[in-house]
Amino acid sequence: MCDDAEIDRLANDLRTADRAIALTGAGLSAASGIPTFRGDDGIWGDLFDESAFHVSRFRRDPAGFWDDRLDLYDRMEPDGGAEPNAAHRALAELTHAGVLDAVITQNTDGLHHAAGTDEVIELHGTNARVVCDRCGTRVDAQPVRDRARDGELPPTCGCGGPYKPDVVLFGELLPQESLRRSKELAAASDVVLAAGSSLTVDPAASLPTYRQGGTLAVVNFEPTRYADNAEYVFRADVTELLPELAARVADSEDSA
Ligand code: NAD
């Protein structure tokens, strides 16, 4: 698959790092049956239009927004729900081993939590909750989504305000405290491992630029931004490369 010696070298860098983080994107969850937005089989373009999920559309036409959002859930979520895959589990192991300080994700699918990762920062929010656009109350998404499917468009909070998925829509700011903490972690990290992301959606995707001398490792099928300044570039499947990397970190710790 990849240069064996390079994987060993990265495993060693991770094992000896004082601080390290992973930054993940939709490619992490592709093997769990959730399509990516870009890349082969990406869902933007013919099927969905970004402007349909802009915050201005939600404010103007919350009923139409929810109608399209239900279609997006159908397209994005496999029947029976998605499960974490080997890549999520490998990153969780690396947090348990104290090798990764956090997994910072652009994903909204909750699969890093489901895999038992110790510290997850969900920079783009989560599909597991909705938030009232008037009073700010956050509740579990599932019952609200069920009401929307039964025809309540838009589903509303007790205060009368429309619920919004608790994710960062196009045109919205990222949660500022999560972004601040992510930048701080990136700046302090000896290794930033960017996996399964096209690294195109700022500001999350530009986190690698905050590192101060730390090593950047990229694992992605396609070319990404920042690859020119990356010490490691693996054109590999995250579900193969990350478990292999976690195994080698564990081996090197056993033999240390
Ligand atoms: P992206 O869709 O722009 O890019 C995903 C990248 O992953 C592509 O470059 C693709 O080549 C690569 N990839 C796919 N499968 C892979 C695999 N098995 N191994 C290695 N690489 C693989 O995703 P992004 O960079 O995360 O940015 C897009 C935005 O999409 C984010 O804001 C995110 O919130 C949102 N999104 C989230 C989900 C999710 O929660 N699972 C799914 C789709 C999109």
pTM: 0.94
Average pLDDT, the chain: 94
Q: How far apart are the two ends of the chain, measured CA to CA in Å?
A: 26
Q: How far is CA 134 from CA 85, 131, 159, in A?
A: 37, 9, 8
Task: List the residue whose alpha carbon is closest to atom 21 of ligand 1.
Answer: 220
Q: Band of the pLDDT at 44, cuts 50, 70, 90?
A: low
d(CA 164, CA 136): 10
Whether omega for the bond prior to residue 35 falls within 30 degrees of 0, making it cis, is: no
Q: How far is the CA of 31 from the centre of ligand 1 (A)?
A: 11
User: Is 124 among the residues known to form the active site?
Assistant: yes
Q: Band of the pLDDT at 196, cuts 50, 70, 90?
A: very high
Residue 90 DSSP SS3: helix
Q: Which of 183, 219, 230, 231 is nearest to 204 (CA)?
A: 183
Q: Band of the pLDDT at 158, cuts 50, 70, 90?
A: very high
- Tell me, what's the pLDDT at 46? 61
Q: 40-44, 89-93, 98-102, 191-195: lowest mean pLDDT where? A: 40-44
Tokens (6 digits) for 173 = 């700011």
Catalytic choice (54, 88, 96, 124): 124
What dihedral do alpha carbons 219, 40, 167, 24 form, nearest 10°?
A: 0
Q: Is the pLDDT of residue 14 over 90?
A: yes
Q: Residue for token digits 């060993």?
A: 8
- Tell me, what's the pLDDT at 255? 66
Q: Is the pLDDT of residue 78 over 70?
A: yes
User: Does ligand 1 have an atom closer than 6 angstroms to the CB of 25?
Assistant: yes
d(CA 125, CA 122): 5
Give the max Cα distance, the chain: 61
The DSSP H or E segment spanning 140 is strand 138-140
